Structure 1
Amino acid sequence: MKEFLTILAIAFGMVLSLPAAAQLFLSICFSFFYLLLLYSGWRKKKIEFHSIYWQGILLFTVFIYQFLKEKSPCFYFVLTKSAATFAAMVGRLIQKPISMRITYSGLDLFLLFFMAGMCACLLFENKWKKAVLYFLSLLAAWGIYLAVWTVLAENSLTLGLHYLEPLTGPLDYRTLLLLLFLGIYSIWEKQAFSAARFRRQWKRERLLPVCLALGLLLFLGTHSQSPTAGGAAKIVFWDTGIDFQLPDKERYGLNQVGMFGVLPQYLLRKGYACQIVPSLERDSLEGAAVLVVINPMRVPDQEELLRIHQFVEAGGSVLLAGDHTGHEEIRKPINQILQPVEMELNFDSAVPFQSLWGGEYNRRGKITTGISDSQVQMVVGASLNLPVNAAPIVITRGGYSDRGELTNSQDGYLGDMQFNRGEQIGDLILAAQASYGKGKFLLFGDTSLFQNMVMAYSHPFIDNIFADLSRGDQRKEKEMTEPKNKSAFQADCVIDAHHLEAVFKDKSSDSIDGLIVNIMRAGMFPYINEKESLTELCERNKELKLIVLLEPAVALTEAERKALHDFVYSGGHIILCADYKSPAAARSLAAEFGFTFLKIPLGRVAPDKNKKMAFWDACPILYQGKDPKESSEVMSLMEIWGYSVMASKKMGDGKIYVLADAQFLRNKNLESLETYREGNVQWLDELFTEMGKEGRK
């Protein structure tokens, strides 16, 4: 029974756990089952060595498998091709095309049960003949599952299987495969462990310590640190006609904020030397560490291709990013550049089953160290086709590859954006890298994380990417020079999300893209902070001018409150959006500075003295129990029907602004894709611009 429970626990971990949690799950298995068995043996005055040995070797084997799958591109390539080939063979047999990779095909489960049988054969005598029958039974059950999957997938709504998706994932029926394998394994277990003779040649007192020691060394060896940039590396952007504009004060609306202009300005602020060139001439890449190619609109000529390839061979790095269903533009130029390493953008759209990928990312490599899912910021892009030596960086599980349609040029060659028979499901690769000579190519199938509005979220990923690509060899490091141009961003702003503020990332009416754009227009770069405490932020970033708090739901610590006071006294500014309906933590923070809210809803109205502006859901604000207009310590900035709804308080060299409207800084009240509130935008621009000019002491 213990052996049965062991494999059942590991199997459930493979089906239900996220890829990033696999090693943690296996560590728990190691600890739990060894303690259970040792305790059982101690109670019975008998240590069951054969059971401990079997579980130890099985867990160690699974650990090695997971390690190789995560760390070895060649091993992952073999697994991917094996799963795809077997699924295609079953599809041909049933005359229904099937395109699956490791996850949805259930290859992990098949190999787990196969390894369990092989471990038993290694430890016990006279089991090899029955192992052949066991293996064939597993293979047959796997094929049956894939055939049944096609029927279930096509009739999921009719059968009501979509109700299981919160537990299993969309079209993920591997629980059925698990039950098939468990039935076969239960028969095998009885034969393998009943009246079985333990092989005497195994050194019982040495085997487990060796396995555990190797496992520990592998685990320690998997730990990696985020790359760190050294020197002011030169980065060249190849402009083939893409939009390098910044958000400006002449155009409003989220569809008028430019595409990629923030990226070079952000890198300038980080100390890189950036140059945008319209063509790759002979001296364009001289002294450069990184070449950036985003959505190329034309195929490079032979001389340009030669310069790019020679640049990489000599130790340079090339970052390429494209989008879904590119054809003559984007896809063809990128694939032409990547011919030496055989990486390709597919003619498809990598579409998540949910609205966003959420927790479906499997992140690999140094550049993803310390990066959360919300900081990856990849949405619908193109999937990648990789050779055996290319290393996947970002893999998504819960989605499918929607084939492009060449006849649909008016919609950018998009397909029907529906999952159809024969389209690949699961394990879509969205980012990968490959070495070439002394340098490397890094390819992204989606440009979202490099776009203007998104960089407020993806900046940690951007930092890691360029720190890794710009390391170069010693010769290049000596050639790096200080930036000649100044960044358009002369100060920093933090929009806090560390205290569970309602910071939405879906460009909906309740998200804060309009706030992000307004901060950029004023010459400050906005950072969405999810991980650091406010104490750490204020101590680390001396260029920080503004902290925005949108209804914090978790109370600030005493150290954070002190850090905020010190931040303001040294010349920083705080904007707190809250009202009487806000969480207690938000109201408590307002009270920390002397402000409270009256439970009087004022609704969507314009302030008394500025009819171009509008509040969304305002309420009156008090300072020390009085209207701010009656106090000499604070200033009432706006009133509605005589009630103060916005006030500021000067503290030392800085100020805190309290907006008694929790929705004031949301898209619906500032800017959305098609509409904008010009009075609100202009008022904020004046406020932010003034904040950006004032320095902290």
Structure 2
Amino acid sequence: SVSKYSYDESKKIFGFKELTPKKLIKNGMVWTVVFLFISTVTITTFIGEEDTTSTDQKILFYGQNMLGTWDIPEYGKYGREASGMFGLLPIYLTASGYECEIAVENITTFLNTIQPEIIINNTTNNNTNQSEYKTIERYVNLTDYVSIVQSTIVTEDLLKDVQVFVVVNINKSFSQNEKNVIYNFIEKGGSLLVLGDHTDVGGIQQPLNDLLDQAGIQFRFDSALPLDEKFRWLTSYQLLHHPIVSNIQSKDELQISVGASLDISYSSFPIIVGRYAFSDEGD
């Protein structure tokens, strides 16, 4: 398919403020837009001048209007029912020394949503199945590791003291005011991490592309698949020089299944490339 970002001298394809060498030197900051071309994951990050340790960083997850859940794996819950869980991500990050928060519109509703329940079928004397709900005792509770904050919209106060703002599979676009807040946050040195899936599953493509348009990145309506059926992406990775991938000791650390390919402009560049692959356009 034809890229949205075909070169046109008469058009500006990048929405940030013009950055001249003089401004870069003056501000001591280099903006970069990067992506990880991995299983249902696209990373967009903007790196500032300071190199802080993980213990100094707060990560805020946007917990609303998304495809997926903040649940965690449970014993006996497998297959499609166990897919789309992101609850372990903030738990891993907290264990690694980061401070993590999840922003939701209503804390009570959110906590009720992530409480696991199972249906136990009881057979009575007349062989009629009756369903009984029972709460499962969890081995790991999300709230033991993550703070839940309440906010109906994305505001400057919400992003105050936050270093990384994480958006996952959103199926509803941010308002223009919210997008302005997010990109002002980026311009001041914050980082934006965007995770997205393939082929517009759950109606996420337009909201994600709407958010990323100013950065010159778009999700294509496709699935990116490796040519190597046996080793999958393992033989296809190309890791470019960047601090994000500097600590990867082995390509086995990257677990990739299938994801969307990205249409990127001249203002963005990849840091992990999947070579020897093809794009399977969505139906």
Question: What band does the TM-score fall into relative to the shorter chain?
Answer: 0.5 to 0.7
Contact 2:173 2:210 in 1 (8 A): yes
Query: C-alpha separation between the residues in 1 aligned to 2:154 and 2:223?
Result: 33
Note the C-alpha offset of 1:303.
2.0
Contact 2:54 2:97 in 1 (8 A): no
Q: Which has the higher contact order (CA 8 A, sep 6+)?
A: 2
Q: Choose which of 235, 243, 255 in structure 2 pairs with 1:377.
A: 255
Q: Choose which of 288, 292, 300 in structure 1 pairs with 2:166.
A: 292
Q: Does 1:275 align with 2:96?
A: no
SS of residue paired to 1:266? helix
Note the C-alpha offset of 1:276.
0.8
Contact 1:237 1:292 in 2 (8 A): yes
Q: Does 1:343 align with 2:168?
A: no
Note the C-alpha offset of 1:373.
2.0
Number of residues of Structure 1 aligned to a counterpart in Structure 2: 180
Q: Which residue of 2 aligns with 1:400?
A: 278
Query: C-alpha separation between the residues in 1 aligned to 2:272 and 2:61?
Result: 23
Runs of 4+ in 1 over 6 A off after TM superposition: none
Note the C-alpha offset of 1:399.
1.1
Note the C-alpha offset of 1:377.
1.5
Q: Which residue of 1 aligns with 2:57?
A: 233
Q: Which residue of 1 aligns with 2:235?
A: 359
Note the C-alpha offset of 1:285.
1.1
Query: C-alpha separation between the residues in 2 aligned to 1:230 and 1:261?
Result: 19
Query: 1:279-316 CA distances to partner (integer Å, 9 max, x unpaired)?
Result: 44322211100011111121111222111111111110
SS of residue paired to 1:377? coil
Contact 2:216 2:267 in 1 (8 A): no
Q: Does 1:388 align with 2:266?
A: yes
Query: 1:591-628 CA distances to partner (integer Å, 9 max, x unpaired)?
Result: xxxxxxxxxxxxxxxxxxxxxxxxxxxxxxxxxxxxxx
SS of residue paired to 1:319? strand
Q: Which residue of 2 aligns with 1:245?
A: 71
The letter of the residue matching 1:235 is I
Contact 2:54 2:98 in 1 (8 A): no
Query: C-alpha separation between the residues in 1 aligned to 2:190 and 2:273?
Result: 25
Query: C-alpha separation between the residues in 2 aligned to 1:248 and 1:349?
Result: 28
Query: 1:2-32 CA distances to partner (integer Å, 9 max, x unpaired)?
Result: xxxxxxxxxxxxxxxxxxxxxxxxxxxxxxx
SS of residue paired to 1:271? coil
Contact 2:223 2:282 in 1 (8 A): yes
Note the C-alpha offset of 1:256.
4.3
Query: 1:534-562 CA distances to partner (integer Å, 9 max, x unpaired)?
Result: xxxxxxxxxxxxxxxxxxxxxxxxxxxxx
Note the C-alpha offset of 1:368.
1.5
SS of residue paired to 1:392? coil
Q: How high is the TM-score relative to the length of structure 2? A: 0.58
Whichever structure has more helix as a proportion of its residues is 1
The letter of the residue matching 1:363 is L
Whichever structure has more strand as a proportion of its residues is 2
The letter of the residue matching 1:247 is P
Query: C-alpha separation between the residues in 2 aligned to 1:340 and 1:366?
Result: 23
Note the C-alpha offset of 1:327.
6.4
> Which aligned pairs between 1:248-267 and structure 2 lie closer than 5 A?
248=74, 251-257=76-82, 259-267=85-93
SS of residue paired to 1:281? coil
Note the C-alpha offset of 1:231.
3.1
Q: Which runs of 5+ in 1 are unaligned?
A: 1-80, 82-226, 406-697
The letter of the residue matching 1:366 is P
Query: C-alpha separation between the residues in 1 aligned to 2:201 and 2:182?
Result: 21
> Which aligned pairs between 1:483-562 and structure 2 lie closer than 5 A?
none
Identity across the alignment (%):
34
SS of residue paired to 1:351? strand
Note the C-alpha offset of 1:362.
0.4
> Which aligned pairs between 1:94-105 and structure 2 lie closer than 5 A?
none
Q: Which residue of 2 aligns with 1:368?
A: 245
The letter of the residue matching 1:377 is Q
Contact 2:228 2:235 in 1 (8 A): no
SS of residue paired to 1:275? strand
Note the C-alpha offset of 1:354.
2.4
Query: C-alpha separation between the residues in 2 aligned to 1:328 and 1:269?
Result: 31
Q: Which residue of 2 aligns with 1:449?
A: none
The letter of the residue matching 2:179 is L
Query: C-alpha separation between the residues in 2 aligned to 1:358 and 1:231?
Result: 32
Query: C-alpha separation between the residues in 2 aligned to 1:330 and 1:310?
Result: 23
Contact 1:285 1:311 in 2 (8 A): yes
Note the C-alpha offset of 1:228.
7.2
The letter of the residue matching 2:177 is E
Q: Which runs of 5+ in 2 are unaligned?
A: 1-5, 7-50, 105-151
Distance change (3 Å), C-alpha of 1:303 and 1:328: farther
